[in-house]
Structure 1
Amino acid sequence: MRKELRLWAERLAERAREARLTFPPVLFEEVGPEEMAMLAAYGGFPRRYPHWRWGSEYLRYRETYRYGLGRIYELVVNTLPVQAYLLRGNTLLAQKVVMAHVYAHADFFQNNLAFKPIPKDMLSEMAHHAAYVERAMERHGARSVEEFLDMALSLENLIDPHAPYVQRPLGEEEKEAPKRLPVRPYLDPYVNPPPEPPKEAEEGASPKPLPPRPTRDILGFLAQHAPLAPWQKGILEILREESLYFAPQAATKILNEGWATYWHTKLLLPLLAPEEAVEFAEMQANLLAPHGLNPYRLGYHLLKEVEERWDKGRFGPEYEALPLGERLRYERPTGEGRKKLFQVRTVYTDLNFLEEFLTPEFALRRGLVSPEDLPRFAEAKKALLFRLTNLGYPIVELLDANHQNRGELLLAHAYEGVELDLRKTKAVLENLHRLWGRPVHLKTVVGGKETLLSAP
């Protein structure tokens, strides 16, 4: 990195720490547009397992930049140390904005509770995953591995995003399991091979339910129990591990980007030279433009709202019950706004952040709704929160892996007023059938009626 950028990185890091942001070391690297497009396609990692999806994403990012439709200003990876990339050719001010933005992201990664159980060594782990898939291609043929990856990737969202945070009591079968050497899940079949099954079931024994309790971790269940080759189970574990790594980022997109935007504004405004003011205003206007669900705009303005409410004591049921015209008499500066922001950064995700703080008054002030649409605000907010539940994917549980005592899978969709996309659902069920080797059934609602979809 150029000396001038390095000096600014040190200066901004010092200002961030003075503002009570806490973060691990951050490594900045300047890259060109082609390399930035490749890194963005790989999710910020320089090496991923080989698959055509990365090439497709790379072309999309490259063409977007080439035709002036957009550029990637920030790319930061939740690792230790934090890895961040700067686009070579940006103005000095743009690089300063990105660096201040990145320090706030690094603070969020380190302190938000959703990221606590997430491993920080994923740079090396992603490289191990790539090497594993490449060896599988050498041994079993590139085409067969690619076909299996295509099938498995359609199931990558069938995980339990809460799994890293929940310690469930072990069942009897799990308590009696032999000790296993601690290794990465995709290596487990090689290091800890399963014991030989008993030759004959005990007379009169009743079969134990499988799974012991309904589970949303369908991908993990398949990796453990599906009749697959060890290399195929390893690939399922790899997809599951990577999905769980990215899950907290999807669950905090609005809050995380709002936090980073709030802090790059606070850290940089006092340092702007007069000739930089117009450029910064243009960058900020583009970043906070009201197009669709802009996480930067919504997160930033909602955090400002929280800070203002707590600084003026504008919170609590007594205050909320007052008419708008009478609230000013009860507002007194308290200095609690910044303290509340740090609490929000630590314990909230997008779902409870919007549930608690996205009020009709805020939406009206920020132009999110017009006065005539205000009666429909509650309905619109409910729809938005639904989109954020379970990372935006339908909630599906595996109920029984021995449905009707025939070794078939029985799943259930948690229907909450929105029906499944039948085309996608049928494709997923077909791929589940191919992996499991027996019929697969899904309870859901179609056309307002309870329905059982099956494959084949």
Structure 2
Amino acid sequence: MNLWDWAERLRARAEEAGLSFPPVVFEEVDAEEMAMLAAYGGFPRRYPHWRWGSEYLRYRELYRYGLGRIYELVVNTEPVYAYLLKGNTPLAQKLVMAHVYAHADFFRNNLAFRPIPKDMLNEMAHHAAYVERAMERHGARAVEEFLDLALSLENLIDPHAPYIRRLEKEAPPPQGRLRVRPYLEPYVNPPPEPPREAEEGASPRPLPPRPTRDLLGFLARHAPLAPWQRALLEIVREESLYYAPQAATKVMNEGWATFWHTRLLLPLLDPEEALEFAELQAGLLAPQGFNPYRLGYLLFQEIEERWDKGRFGEEYDRLPLGERLRYERPRGEGRAKLFQVRTVYTDLGFLEEFLTPEFALRRGLIAPKDLDRFQEAKRHLLFRLTNAGYPIVWLLDANYKNRGELLLEHAYEGVGLDLRRTQAVLANLHRLWGRPVHLRTVLKGKPALLTYDGEHRLGTP
């Protein structure tokens, strides 16, 4: 049976098991192509920037010196595109294909991915074409420098923005205007007339109307920029929002894929393949550092077993009747619970609810002597996963003290900012906004105000 026959066989098994996914297109690529695709975030084309070249060299050298190997790449699109590394053993390719079908199921069904566009293969190519044209018109150096500026702020987005639907009624778009991507708006739907100055004595609305985390989107709409610069900010923002759900579900997504490739493939193995499968699985689930594959896989195993056996397993029948009524779990519902969890959780809720001390002890994640430190370690892990580990910053006022200055606030949670990086970000915001930028935070346990107006200053809010 050739590789593509195996792909069909595994697809049928996945669907029989209850997984649902769009068509999956597999393609074999060599190590050089895989390094390029990995550098481009899984897409065959991205806009030109030195970052991708740097990432390509890193992936290529890791493979060349045997320090890392990318077995597959899968892209959240419809159809789903998955790239297999040429030179993998037949068993490794089968394992990867089963893994990919579970990823495709997760992309389609997890609610975090629901508003994310599935046509990003074409959209990334449109972005690349736009940036290339901008380089021709405005100069490669000017565009590259502005992209550096925009990419330094790519995490200043609201990852929940695609899900927000405001209740306020908005005026319908003027007749004759077309719906297009934000970065094309100035070209397809130019303003009909220059904006008029506010009348004397008018009371302008607060800007922004409410505090927002979507600083990149705010700057794209309101900063004094040329149309092509606004477009580049929108491109960076759109791509950052596309990748945000993947960062928010890393443990679940990889755990789900590992759980299902084991279930789908293991019954189909020949006896001579068992040892190789065990070696691949052991490498994937190695208990070294923070391994999202291992943690997610063990948690999904735990959930299925817990909901199949009931909370107390064999001890259940020895419980008093009152305890049974209180703690009884429907038996045989592990599979249904798995699919429910896959649909409605992201990593933070998933780990908060199911990563318990009892689970950690049963699965050997902690030793009994370390049990008293479990909650602290869990809190540290959840903090690390919140907002992909980046500080949360709110824009409070774009007319601070009625001087057209930005006032930001860091959502301080006990961990201070890296001052060197913070100062660089404030300087870049100043370059975009053109006026001073202020950031409220906490330094050494005390409220502080960081300001950039050409030079950094510390003060009190």
Fold-level match, TM-score > 0.5?
yes
Matched, 1:147 2:145: yes
Report what 1:187 is aligned to. 184
Whole-angstrom distance in 2 between the partners of 1:367 and 1:416:
30
- Matched to 2:56, the amino acid is Y
Whole-angstrom distance in 2 between the partners of 1:283 and 1:192:
54
Q: In the superposition, relative to structure 1, how do residues 333 and 187 fare at CA in structure 2: closer, same or farther (>3 Å)?
A: closer
Report what 2:129 is aligned to. 131
Alignment of structure 1 residues 103-142 onto 2, 5 Å: 103-142=101-140
Whole-angstrom distance in 2 between the partners of 1:141 and 1:78:
33
Whole-angstrom distance in 1 between the partners of 2:174 and 2:40:
38
Q: Note the alpha carbon deviations across 1:401-439, whole angstroms, 9 max, x for none.
A: 111111111110110111111111110000000001111
| Residues 211 and 395 in structure 2, CA contact (< 8 A), matched pair in contact too | yes
- Matched to 1:138, the amino acid is E
Q: In the superposition, relative to structure 1, how do residues 205 and 176 fare at CA in structure 2: closer, same or farther (>3 Å)?
A: farther
Whole-angstrom distance in 2 between the partners of 1:254 and 1:188:
37
Q: Which runs of 5+ in 2 are unaligned?
A: 454-461
Provide the aligned length of Structure 1 versus Structure 2: 444
CA displacement at 1:199 relative to structure 2: 4.2
Report what 1:15 is aligned to. 13
| Residues 307 and 329 in structure 2, CA contact (< 8 A), matched pair in contact too | no
| Residues 47 and 127 in structure 1, CA contact (< 8 A), matched pair in contact too | yes
CA displacement at 1:101 relative to structure 2: 0.2
- Matched to 2:203, the amino acid is S
Report what 2:458 is aligned to. none
Q: Note the alpha carbon deviations across 1:38-74, whole angstroms, 9 max, x for none.
A: 0001010000000011011111110111011121012
Matched, 1:349 2:309: no
CA displacement at 1:362 relative to structure 2: 1.1
Report what 2:237 is aligned to. 240
* Partner SS for 1:109: helix
Report what 2:38 is aligned to. 40
RMSD: 2.0
Whole-angstrom distance in 1 between the partners of 2:337 and 2:228:
48
Q: In the superposition, relative to structure 1, how do residues 377 and 202 fare at CA in structure 2: closer, same or farther (>3 Å)?
A: same
Report what 1:73 is aligned to. 71
Whole-angstrom distance in 2 between the partners of 1:244 and 1:414:
20
Q: In the superposition, relative to structure 1, how do residues 374 and 272 fare at CA in structure 2: closer, same or farther (>3 Å)?
A: same
Report what 1:443 is aligned to. 440
Match 2:171 to one of 175, 184, 187: 175
Q: In the superposition, relative to structure 1, how do residues 200 and 5 fare at CA in structure 2: closer, same or farther (>3 Å)?
A: closer
Report what 1:256 is aligned to. 253
CA displacement at 1:365 relative to structure 2: 2.1
- Of residues 81-90 and 203-212 in structure 1, the stretch that sits farther from structure 2 once superposed is 203-212
- Of residues 341-350 and 360-369 in structure 1, the stretch that sits farther from structure 2 once superposed is 360-369
| Residues 396 and 407 in structure 2, CA contact (< 8 A), matched pair in contact too | yes
CA displacement at 1:332 relative to structure 2: 8.6
* Partner SS for 1:363: helix
- Matched to 1:214, the amino acid is P
CA displacement at 1:203 relative to structure 2: 3.1
Match 1:281 to one of 258, 278, 300: 278
Alignment of structure 1 residues 28-427 onto 2, 5 Å: 28-170=26-168, 174-175=170-171, 178=174, 180-197=177-194, 199-314=196-311, 334-427=331-424
| Residues 443 and 452 in structure 1, CA contact (< 8 A), matched pair in contact too | yes
Whole-angstrom distance in 2 between the partners of 1:200 and 1:87:
59
- Matched to 1:98, the amino acid is V
TM-score, normalised relative to structure 2? 0.93
CA displacement at 1:219 relative to structure 2: 0.3
CA displacement at 1:331 relative to structure 2: 8.5
Whole-angstrom distance in 2 between the partners of 1:198 and 1:122:
34
| Residues 312 and 331 in structure 1, CA contact (< 8 A), matched pair in contact too | no
- Matched to 1:341, the amino acid is L
Whole-angstrom distance in 2 between the partners of 1:357 and 1:199:
56
Q: In the superposition, relative to structure 1, how do residues 193 and 448 fare at CA in structure 2: closer, same or farther (>3 Å)?
A: same
- Matched to 1:124, the amino acid is N
TM-score, normalised relative to structure 1? 0.94
Q: Note the alpha carbon deviations across 1:195-221, whole angstroms, 9 max, x for none.
A: 545544323211211111111000000
Q: Which runs of 5+ in 1 are unaligned?
A: none
* Partner SS for 1:72: coil
- Matched to 1:97, the amino acid is L
* Partner SS for 1:175: coil
